[in-house]
Structure 1
Amino acid sequence: MMQISESYNQKNSLFNTMNRFIGAVNNMDHTVMVPSLLRDVPLDEAPDLKEVRTAAGGVGGGAYFQQDADMYSSYILLKSIRNDIEWGVLQAEERRKEKAPAEVEALRPDGEDDDLETQFYFHLKGLHGVLSKLTRKANTLTTRYKEEIGCRH
């Protein structure tokens, strides 16, 4: 059986990027013992969490990292995205049935005539980038929580 080692090229694989994100969210989840302490804690002091204002769209609960959001809503969103990655998109779509038909249609691939290879690499690159940013956000939220409760490391 072939043994898989994490070489330089594999370090940036989608699989490893997803594992780093899931690990960061799991760490955040284990660290944040009282999530309600995150309520009303603004993201102003955590610019890394505010950086992405993109829809989680096809992966998360359709929520956004909003400029006026608190750390609690970011915590919930990160956990939701982790669950969607672990349990699959179909379950996530069931939770998003309240979306308008135009929004759902916008998430579907265009037509069969499009170049599937180009679409694949476009979405793979985008997913890798988004997961990397979300991983940093989970790590930042974990650090901020520790600071809020007075724990230094």
Structure 2
Amino acid sequence: MMQISDSYNQKNSLFNAMNRFIDAVKNMDQTVMVPSLLRDVPLEDNGDVKVAKSGDEVIPATANGTAYFHQDADMYSSYILLKSIRHDIEWGVLQGEGRSKERVGVTEVSRVDGEDDDLEKLFHYHLNGLHAVLSKLTHKANLLTTRYKMEIGCRN
């Protein structure tokens, strides 16, 4: 028999966070019948995913050659990015030549090979970060779906 705490923990698992994101993007994709209508429509949510800045220059991180959200992104670029991330989660990401080791905004956690404590810390660091990013991306997909419906005049 499953206890309440087990149910709570399972609800907040990485697997469920990924499924919520994938479902939100699938819903967005099914709702957005004409993606080109999203071009030049600004993102009005102040909770946009930010990118790292170097001095006064904005440096967008990339996934599959697509820029992550930044201050000047429109809904169309966000739509394309969300679909790209969903594809990476479902089908995996390129390794080696297709990807750079460093990502903007990602800090390298140093570890000594062979020390289990460091591997565990590294795992939990990235697990927490991934969970937080998936939650923000799920919110972004739901926001985009709602905004699209508002733009085309759909009430539901």
Q: 2:78 aligns with which of 70, 74, 85?
A: 74
CA separation of 1:13/1:144 partners in 2, compared to 1, >3 Å: closer, same or farther?
A: same
Question: Counterpart in 1 of 2:132?
Answer: 129
Query: Distance between the aligned counterparts of 2:78 and 2:109, measured in 1?
Result: 28
Q: 1:150 aligns with which of 140, 148, 153?
A: 153
Check conservation: 1:57, 1:107, Cα contact below 8 A.
Answer: no
Mapping of residues 1-153 of structure 1, within 5 Å = 7-43=7-43, 45-48=44-47, 50=48, 52-54=49-51, 60-61=63-64, 63-90=67-94, 93=95, 96-97=98-99, 103=102, 110-111=110-111, 112=113, 115-153=118-156
> Size of the alignment, in residue pairs?
140
Task: State TM-score, norm by structure 1.
Answer: 0.78
Task: State TM-score, norm by structure 2.
Answer: 0.77
Give unmatched runs, 5+ long, in structure 2. 53-59
Q: CA deviation at 1:38?
A: 0.2
Sequence identity, in percent?
Answer: 67
Q: CA deviation at 1:39?
A: 0.1
Question: Counterpart in 1 of 2:55?
Answer: none
CA separation of 1:71/1:125 partners in 2, compared to 1, >3 Å: closer, same or farther?
A: same
Between Structure 1 and Structure 2, which shows a larger proportion of strand residues? 2
Q: Deviations over 1:100-144 (max 9, x none)?
A: xx737x888755256100000000000000000100000000000
Query: Distance between the aligned counterparts of 1:86 and 1:117, measured in 2?
Result: 25
Query: Distance between the aligned counterparts of 1:141 and 1:150, measured in 2?
Result: 14
Query: Distance between the aligned counterparts of 1:89 and 1:108, measured in 2?
Result: 19
Give unmatched runs, 5+ long, in structure 1. none
Query: Distance between the aligned counterparts of 1:143 and 1:10, measured in 2?
Result: 28
Instruction: State which structure, 1 or 2, has the greater radius of gyration over its C-alpha atoms.
Output: 2
Name the aligned partner's letter for residue 122 of structure 1. Answer: Y
Query: Distance between the aligned counterparts of 2:50 and 2:121, measured in 1?
Result: 25
Name the aligned partner's letter for residue 88 of structure 2. Answer: D
Q: CA deviation at 1:66?
A: 0.8
